[in-house]
């Protein structure tokens, strides 16, 4: 008999909307998520204190609280060690915070063999619902495969309290799916790399929802669309079993900036947005590149290297180095295989087109 369906790893609970943090007790009481109700909660060292005071009343009294200092491999391992060393027999890890806390907690949960519930307090990137943890390491930054969160909660009231830059960053992250998908299609044509159509459809839906939405981050409706889009993007990676649906030349460029210019690096989503428009322009899809640039401009996001705090030469350095950040991944950068002088010309042409 033919196989008519497939099993997909997906969260047991996803709640997005204003005030949904108040539903945490019910979500965490779900036997699929926490059999014993013994919870370890990871928060940041800074804003986490305020969040603890704000949400403590919605959580069981015997919760164990653990702070996370940074999104590094060492911090994630340290978090796992502290949770394991605690005398309480925790069975679920809850991460409350931004991407740094959630990424460190995802890795720690995988190391502990525990399910993770992600409670996002900003929309900076799609890591809230992805099977990837992006962590600093001795070589720069690495992406580590982890199980998808078993629960996702995005309270739009909490999101509104985040600095606007952290919310806008998610716009660049979601929009960059269009670049990633074009690179995936290119790899399929040129190298025969298989494409997962369901994952691609999910990632494209997320990106196009942002591309065509007229609202701003001040609109509850737009925030809801962005939150849902980032969850879809993360889930697309789980469906595909790879970051391909949401990571192409755009992310290679972002990772190269992180490694070459760590003190000048902007938000991940800001860099991905610029990388996506540049790669789309490089691909010759000028109408789409202009449309994407217009969306970034309307939402006050960077469009050119200068907007990121980089000069033309530094951005060209990042584009040159970008393919080394993801060995084996085929994108427009690997396909064109431009010389350094050609990259310099391409960056100058891009800047001349989109400088404000």
Question: pLDDT tens digits, residue range 224-243?
Answer: 999 999 999 999 999 999 99
Q: How far apart are CA 44 and CA 100, in angstroms?
A: 8
Tell me the CB-side half-sphere exposure of residue 12, using CA atoms within 13 A.
14
Neighbours of 290 (CB within 10 A): 14
Per-residue confidence band for 142, with pLDDT thresholds at 50, 70 and 90: confident
CATH fold for the domain made of 164-354: Dehydroquinate synthase-like, alpha domain (1.20.1090)
Mean pLDDT of 318-338: 96
Write out the H or E segment, with its range, that includes residue 248. Answer: none
Distance CA 181, CA 186 (A): 9
Cβ-proximal residues to 121 (8 Å cutoff; 6+ apart), any chain: 47, 51, 96, 97, 98, 155, 158, 159, 161, 162
Through-space distance between the first and last CA atoms of the chain, rounded to whole angstroms: 60
Common-topology check for domains 13-160 and 164-354: no
Architecture of domain 13-160: 3-Layer(aba) Sandwich (3.40)
Domain edges within the chain: 13-160, 164-354
Instruction: Convert the pLDDT of each residue in 151-169 to its tens digit.
Output: 999 999 989 988 999 999 9
Q: What is the pLDDT of residue 1?
A: 47
pTM of the predicted protein model: 0.92
Q: What mean pLDDT comes out for the span 314-318?
A: 98
């Amino acid at each position: 008999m033919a196989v008519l369906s497939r099993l997909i790893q997906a969260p047991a609970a996803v709640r997005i909307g204003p005030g949904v943090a108040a539903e945490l007790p019910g979500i965490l009481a779900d036997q699929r998520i926490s059999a014993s109700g013994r919870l370890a909660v990871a928060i940041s060292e800074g804003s986490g204190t305020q969040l603890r005071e704000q949400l403590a009343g919605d959580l069981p009294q015997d919760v164990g609280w653990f702070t996370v200092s940074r999104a590094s491999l060492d911090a994630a391992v340290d978090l796992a060690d502290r949770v394991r060393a605690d005398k309480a027999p925790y069975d679920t890890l809850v991460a409350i915070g931004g991407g740094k806390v959630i990424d460190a907690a995802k890795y720690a949960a995988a190391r502990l063999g525990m399910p993770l519930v992600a409670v996002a307090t900003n929309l900076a990137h799609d890591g809230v619902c992805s099977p990837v943890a992006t962590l600093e390491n001795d070589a720069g930054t690495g992406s580590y495969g982890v199980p998808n969160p078993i629960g996702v909660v995005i309270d739009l009231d909490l999101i509104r309290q985040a600095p606007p830059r952290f919310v806008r960053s998610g716009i660049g992250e979601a929009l960059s799916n269009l670049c990633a998908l074009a690179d995936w299609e290119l790899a399929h044509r040129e190298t025969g790399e298989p494409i997962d159509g369901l994952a691609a459809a999910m990632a494209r839906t997320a990106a196009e929802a942002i591309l065509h939405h007229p609202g701003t981050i001040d609109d509850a409706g737009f925030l809801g669309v962005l939150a849902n889009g980032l969850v879809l993007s993360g889930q697309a990676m789980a469906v595909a079993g790879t970051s391909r649906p949401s990571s192409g030349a755009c992310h290679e460029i972002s990772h190269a900036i992180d490694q070459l210019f760590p003190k000048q690096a902007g938000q991940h989503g800001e860099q991905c947005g610029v990388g996506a428009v540049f790669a789309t322009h490089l691909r010759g899809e000028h109408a789409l590149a202009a449309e994407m640039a217009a969306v970034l401009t309307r939402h006050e996001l960077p469009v050119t290297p200068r907007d990121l705090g980089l000069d033309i030469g530094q951005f060209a350095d990042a584009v040159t180095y970008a393919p080394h950040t993801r060995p084996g991944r085929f994108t427009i950068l690997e396909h064109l295989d431009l010389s350094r002088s050609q990259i310099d010309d391409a960056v100058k042409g891009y800047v001349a087109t989109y400088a404000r």
